[in-house]
């Protein structure tokens, strides 16, 4: 037992997306050397032991007027996010982390074995994505049962969504108290493998890909960011 507490008590193994790890490593379809394959495998096992994934979310009303997005806890402008939130009346604000032991691991290999540290970075980023997708899919289903359609997650710093909104998200979600995530003066999150995002909720159906517009097949969607 441990392996991310046996995939957070589902009784299954963590559903690794190795293609995503390779994508983070800049892989373009070339053959993967055997030693890299072994290092990826090692990194996945070590991350399963070190990670303690946690997440929180809160729901808020949303008003959009004169291109100002009023999310209750913050008012901001972002044409990319505005397009994504069109027809939404509410939002979910979401925060997740893999926990501080992943940073200890990253730091240790940064000193001991740089090649492994690079792969560990990629694998940890992929792990966080998979964890967020899993949590978001559960939320999508829960809200759909109540007649709300959830839009894909959109993080501060993405497109023209100001990174400065991290401060208000941090406060609104009480990230420090609830999941141990703090912000540096330069708005980086600690632990480093943490993420925040906003997801729109609308009464108008739109079957969004949980991985977001980049991975969605609906190329002609008017809301595509």
Binding residues for ligand SF4, rule: CB under 6 A, are 152, 206, 208-209, 212-213, 216, 218, 221, 223-224
Q: To the nearest whole angstrom, how small is the minimum distance from the Cβ of residue 84 to ligand SF4?
A: 6
Q: To the nearest whole angstrom, how small is the minimum distance from the Cβ of residue 211 to ligand SF4?
A: 8
Distance CA 186, CA 116 (A): 27
* Nearest partner of 60 among 198, 175, 163, 186, judged by Cα: 198
How is residue 135 written in tokens? 């949590």
Beta carbons of 85 and 200 less than 8 angstroms apart: yes
Q: To the nearest whole angstrom, how small is the minimum distance from the Cβ of residue 194 to ligand SF4?
A: 23
Q: To the nearest whole angstrom, how small is the minimum distance from the Cβ of residue 22 to ligand SF4?
A: 23
Cβ-based nearer residue to ligand SF4, 32 or 221: 221
Cβ-based nearer residue to ligand SF4, 54 or 153: 153
Q: To the nearest whole angstrom, how small is the minimum distance from the Cβ of residue 68 to ligand SF4?
A: 21
Distance CA 41, CA 185 (A): 35
Cβ-based nearer residue to ligand SF4, 189 or 199: 199
CA distances from 140 to 99, 118, 183 (A): 24, 33, 28
Cβ-based nearer residue to ligand SF4, 12 or 224: 224
Cβ-based nearer residue to ligand SF4, 179 or 208: 208
The single-letter DSSP state of residue 180 is -
Q: To the nearest whole angstrom, how small is the minimum distance from the Cβ of residue 120 to ligand SF4?
A: 30
Cβ-based nearer residue to ligand SF4, 5 or 224: 224
Return the SS3 of 54: strand
Distance CA 95, CA 195 (A): 6
For residue 123, count CB atoms less than 10 angstroms from its CB and return exposed for 0-12, middle for 13-18, buried for 19 or more.
Answer: buried
Q: For 64-112, what is the HEC assignment? A: EECCEEECCCCEECCHHHHHHCCCEEEEEEEEEECCHHHHHHHHHHHHH
Q: To the nearest whole angstrom, how small is the minimum distance from the Cβ of residue 208 to ligand SF4?
A: 3
Cβ-based nearer residue to ligand SF4, 83 or 108: 83
């Amino acid at each position: 037992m441990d392996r991310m507490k046996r995939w957070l008590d589902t009784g299954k193994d963590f559903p690794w997306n190795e293609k995503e790890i390779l994508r983070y490593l800049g892989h373009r379809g070339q053959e993967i050397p055997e030693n890299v394959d072994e290092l990826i495998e090692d990194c996945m096992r070590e991350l399963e032991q070190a990670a303690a994934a946690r997440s929180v979310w809160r729901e808020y009303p949303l008003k959009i007027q004169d291109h100002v997005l009023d999310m209750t806890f913050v008012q901001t402008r972002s044409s990319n996010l505005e397009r994504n939130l069109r027809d939404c009346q509410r939002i979910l604000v979401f925060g997740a982390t893999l926990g501080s032991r992943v940073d200890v691991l990253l730091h240790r290999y940064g000193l001991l074995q740089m090649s492994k540290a690079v792969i560990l970075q990629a694998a940890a980023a992929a792990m966080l994505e998979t964890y967020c997708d899993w949590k978001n899919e559960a939320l999508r289903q829960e809200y759909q049962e109540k007649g709300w359609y959830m839009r894909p997650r959109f993080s501060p710093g993405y497109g023209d969504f100001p990174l400065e909104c991290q401060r208000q998200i941090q406060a609104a979600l009480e990230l420090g108290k609830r999941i141990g995530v703090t912000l540096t003066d330069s708005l980086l999150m600690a632990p480093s493998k943490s993420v925040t995002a906003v997801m729109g909720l609308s009464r108008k159906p739109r079957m969004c890909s949980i991985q977001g517009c980049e991975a969605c097949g609906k190329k002609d969607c008017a809301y595509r960011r």
